[in-house]
Each structure stands twice: as structure tokens, then as C-alpha cells.
Amino acid sequence: MKFSANLGFLWADRPLPDAIRAAKTAGFDAVECHWPYDTPAAEVTTALEETGLRMLGLNTIRGNPGENGLSALPGREAEARAAIDQAIAYAEAIGAGAIHIMAGFAEGPEAQAAFLDNLRYARDRCPEGIKLLIEPLNRHDAPGYFLQTTDQAAALLAELNLPGVKLMFDCYHVGRTEGDLTTRLRDLAPIIGHIQFASVPDRGAPDHGEVDYRFVFAQIAAQGWPRALGAEYKPTGPTDESLGWLRDLPPAA
């Protein structure tokens, strides 16, 4: 298996370029992030070139304080599309592979219509080489978030029916509210664009909790998943002290 360090949580105490270098030293195969926009893209590009790592993805901004995305908020289309344009420009500048379009706190048919329209806008504007991702967030951590389950995401993607718009399958979020991880990973494989993980239920390193990630990773490998899995967990101390799971796993195939 190959792994990507999510630098929104790992080495979050360091400037993003230094976090990229730390991920390389630790043995990760790629990196990803949340909101890199305060760091000049040229500095990120330099770190990526030095390490040979690729930035797999980034998020659109959350919006105002207390918000968690804009793209499913009726009446906020101008802000949502400005956030999409910002993410596309930054992703192009650093060679990122995907953009997570954050939906926000909303519900109902108007929210769904806004989300679909903004996803169409994003796909029209985004180069073909950059995937767009939508991610269900669990109701415990993000109550009221528009996108809450993989079934809801699959239905939206079927209605949208656009190439290059995929599901971000976060094993942590799915494990918190849906369970049955390996069956869902198998059944949803055609629409999955990226996989992330953390322990359930505390979102720590994947070496404890309700989910046996050795089993999950083996099942993902058996399905022929070709890309790095995103380590999006919250260390309880220094990141380097949380990486036993990475050192103990078999070498990447």
C-alpha cells in the first residue's frame, strides 16, 4: 500500500513546505492538505519538487467563521464560485490532483440544487486532469452538514453524471455513521476518487479503535486500488511519534 500524509492534521504545527519535507522524511508517498491558501503556491511547489511528492488534493474554503463550505448554500453562489475559482487556480499552480468541493451546513431541495449547479460550474472551469471530490461528513462531528452518507453522495453523483466528479470515501466518517466499510468500499469502487482513514471513533492514528485497518487495507489492496490512501488523522502528540502504524506495515507494492 501507498500512503499520503494529510497535512491539515499531520505536522500541522509547521509551515506547509516544511510539513511536506517532513512527510517525505517519514516515508509517505504523497501529501494532501486542507486550506493551503495562506502559503504562496511557489513555496509549496518548491517543496514538492525537492521531495518528489505530489499534492493529491486540497479543499475549497469553509467560508465565514462557523461555516463548513459554501457550495450547497442557496443564495451564496457568487461566494461559492469564487472559492471554486480560487481552489482551481491554486491546484493548477502546484499540480494538485483533486479538489474537495465543500458543501456546507444546509438541507433540502434548494440546497441540493445549489450544490449540483456549483459542481457543474466547477467541472466546466476545472481542467480535465484535476478530479472534483464530494465527501460525506459524519453527523457527530459535523451536524447539519449537507452531505452525510455515501448513499446520498452516490445518488447525487448519478444525477450529476459528469466525468471526473467522484466520491471522497473517508473510512473515519463512514465508520462513525454507516459502518460495513469493506462492503461499501467494494460496492462504491466505481465512483470513489480518493480514500482517507483514521481510527474510529476518536480520529487518531489507525492503530487502535473499532476498525482493524490491517484488514481494511488488505481488502483495498485486493480490490486493486492503485493510489495512495490519505492518512487524515489527529495525532495526540508530535506527529513523528504517531507513525508506528506506518513503519509496521509491509512495504508498498
- Render 21-72 in DSSP notation, one character per residue: HHHHHHT-SEEE-S--TTS-HHHHHHHHHHHT--B--EE----STT--BSTT
CB atoms within 10 A of CB 183: 10
Confidence of residue 253 (pLDDT cuts 50, 70, 90): very low
Instruction: Give the contacts of 241 (CB within 8 A, at least 6 positions apart).
Output: 235
Q: What is the pTM of this model?
A: 0.96
What average pLDDT does range 13-30 have in this prediction? 98
Q: Which of 77, 79, 128, 232 is catalytic?
A: 232
Per-residue pLDDT, 249: 72
Per-residue pLDDT, 64: 96
What's the whole-number average pLDDT of the chain? Answer: 96
Q: Which of 49, 79, 107, 135 is catalytic?
A: 135
Instruction: Give the contacts of 78 (CB within 8 A, at least 6 positions apart).
Output: none
Give the chain's domains with CATH numbers: 3-248 (3.20.20.150)
- The tens digit of pLDDT for each residue in 111-153 reads 999 999 999 999 999 999 999 999 999 999 999 999 999 999 9
Q: Is the pLDDT of residue 102 over 50?
A: yes
Query: How far apart, in whole angstroms, are the C-alpha atoms of residue 156 and residue 163?
Result: 13
Residue 135 known to be catalytic: yes
Confidence of residue 248 (pLDDT cuts 50, 70, 90): confident
Per-residue pLDDT, 250: 57
Angle between helices 150-160 and 181-188 (to 10 degrees): 10
Strands 165-170 and 229-231: unpaired
Query: How far apart, in whole angstroms, are the C-alpha atoms of residue 125 and residue 88?
Result: 8
CB atoms within 10 A of CB 251: 6
Residue 92 known to be catalytic: no
Picking from 27, 10, 22, 53, the residue whose alpha carbon sits closest to that of residue 250 is 27
